Amino acid sequence: MNAQPTAAAAGTIDVGGDLTVNRLGFGAMRITGPGIWGEPPSRDQAIATLRRVVELGVNFIDTADSYGPDVSETLIAEALYPYPDDLVIATKGGLVRPGPNRWEANGRPEHLREACEGSLRRLRLEQIPLYQFHRPDPAVPLAESVGAIAELKNEGKIRHVGISNVSESQLREAQQVVPIVSVQNRYNASDRRSESLIDLCEQEQLVFLPWAPVQESGKNPAVVAAARRHGVTQHQIVLAWLLAISPQILPIPGTGSPQHAEENIAAAAIELDPDEVDAISKGALPDTRLSRLSWLSRLSWLSWPGWLGWLGWRDEFRSAPSSSSRNTATSTWGE
């Protein structure tokens, strides 16, 4: 039986230039109750999930004060404090919860200060490694909201600042106020509306955190086909695809189950070939005729020069994927 892969198989990425983490993280939204509200059905299982992901090399955990609310952050501290030296905890503020499955923006500076200080207490941290503005509030100028977070950074309560659920113009506005090191938007094999922001993150060495990374994976026929070929789940294929298409993407799949967490982390070891990556990016199965031509062209690999040349090309593809491999279609963004 093969050993359980760890998050280290995904390689590493720098957050803010000084925090190096494995490039497969964990999203802690699902360790709460139904509707992301209240306590989880099994507190012991939630704690076991958090401990298992860290055992398997995950050293980037994404959460928010609104998950529960407060429940996710409290569980993280209960399960993992005192924290491993290399663990980076990212949290967010800017959404409030009037009830299950309900999310309302609150970008008032006084609220963000209160939210950040509450996160510090619950997480038992003196400084939050990455604090993200959860969503722009239409009732509050973005510069005021981000300005409040900048003040908290200046006070030493925040190390790095990220922004979530934004357009490119909103990112640019935030960057005028404080350095931004990460963007967290919805992105997966079926929802590609943040494509241009991934290109921007590549150009400026920002981290892109895709939320809902595995949702609707079955809608992409190339995902279904690749899962069948590799004998793995569709969710694992999508995670492997996210790792392949850009070195700036840090997937953060979430779950409340240790077993499901193991399955997600195992995706770091799945090697998709370039044709599979391209087919998933295009959202459809490759043309059969082109696939046959591609196979015939690979007969040259049987010679040592051809084989070594292909290995070099494949390594280059993995280390520096271009945005041309992604579907560049855009549409109006919305959460």
Active site residues: 67
- Residues across the chain: 335
Q: Which two tokens stand for residue 280?
A: 């998933």
CA 188 – CA 194 distance, rounded (Å):
9
Neighbours of 291 (CB within 10 A): 13
Give the 3-state secondary structure of residue 90: strand
Cis status, amide bond into 251, omega within 30 of 0:
no
Report which secondary-structure segment, H or E, holds 21: strand 19-22
Widest CA span of the chain, in angstroms? 67
Q: Which two tokens stand for residue 13?
A: 């990425």
The dihedral of CA 294, 296, 302, 304: what is its sign? negative
The 60-62 sheet, strands edge to edge: 26-27, 60-62, 88-93, 128-133, 158-164, 182-186, 207-211
Bridge partners (DSSP) listed for residue 96:
104
Report which secondary-structure segment, H or E, holds 55: helix 43-55
Q: Tell me how far CA of residue 164 lies from CA of 137, 328, 335, in angstroms.
A: 12, 20, 10
Q: Which two tokens stand for residue 49?
A: 């999930």
